């Protein structure tokens, strides 16, 4: 029962944040949202813009399809769908993580937040690549573990947006200072929880 509740909580958050990038098609985020914090020179950098929008849109896709990979029902009764969604997930993550690594060098908050988001992108790529190669070698148990780790990185998009409005108030610090902490807080606890879950499942 608890596992079902946990699964659907993750699914709801993933879907809600997965469709979030669509806002960029509707609202001028350069005037109203996150992009407002970026310099004019960066916003006119064509390579950065391509990387940024590739990152957020494919990140959204990875959230939207990734949670379904943990559905026992889909794996048991609709294996072809499971494999198709898995391929979409892998492609989305690889594109989003590579572009995420590039835009991490331009993250607000200086070297600390740049490193935080860089390690996030590298870890996301690494775990997803291992998840893919392990299933190609038919190592199902290894594949399952790497997918848990991979989606823990993917879910950083959710935890990031949960911490952004709350941490500055909780710690009573300026947003820029909180953002430096969030660049690590959005993914490190996710990975720790994933590892605890993996080890607990083994014991």
Q: Please list the pLDDT of the chain residue by residue as tens digits (203 residues).
A: 556 777 788 888 888 888 887 777 666 655 555 677 788 888 889 999 999 999 999 999 999 999 888 877 887 788 899 999 999 999 999 999 999 999 999 999 999 999 999 999 999 999 999 999 999 999 999 999 999 999 999 999 999 999 999 999 999 999 889 999 999 999 999 999 999 999 887 54
Asked whether the beta carbons of 69 and 85 are under 8 A apart, the reply is yes
The domain total for the chain is: 1
**Which range marks the domain in which residue 50 is found?**
2-202
Who's near 186: CB < 8 A, 6+ residues apart? 120, 156, 159, 160, 163
DSSP 139: -
Q: Is 71 left (phi over 0), alpha (psi -120 to 50) or beta?
A: beta
DSSP 1: -
Return phi, psi of residue 33, to 5°.
-120, -145
Tell me the torsion sign for CA atoms 46, 52, 53, 55. positive
Residue 130: both structure tokens together: 């291992």
Rg over alpha carbons for the chain, rounded to the nearest Å, is 17
Q: Is the pTM of this model over 0.85?
A: yes
């Amino acid at each position: 029962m608890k596992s079902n509740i946990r699964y659907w909580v993750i699914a709801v958050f993933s879907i809600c944040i997965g469709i979030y990038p669509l806002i960029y098609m509707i609202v001028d985020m350069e005037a109203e949202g996150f992009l407002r914090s970026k310099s004019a020179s960066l916003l006119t950098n064509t390579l950065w813009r391509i990387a940024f929008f590739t990152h957020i849109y494919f990140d959204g896709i990875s959230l939207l399809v990734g949670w379904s990979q943990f559905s026992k029902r889909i794996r048991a009764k609709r294996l072809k769908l499971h494999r198709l969604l898995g391929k979409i997930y892998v492609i989305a993550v690889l594109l989003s993580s590579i572009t995420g690594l590039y835009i991490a060098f331009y993250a607000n908050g200086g070297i600390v937040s740049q490193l935080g988001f860089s390690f996030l992108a590298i870890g996301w790529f690494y775990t997803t690549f291992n998840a893919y190669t392990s299933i190609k070698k038919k190592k199902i148990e290894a594949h399952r573990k790497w997918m848990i780790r991979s989606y823990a990185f993917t879910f950083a998009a959710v935890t990031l947006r949960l911490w952004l409005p709350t941490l500055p108030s909780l710690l009573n610090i300026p947003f820029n200072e909180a953002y430096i902490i969030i660049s690590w807080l959005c993914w490190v606890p996710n990975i720790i929880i994933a590892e605890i879950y993996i080890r607990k499942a083994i014991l």
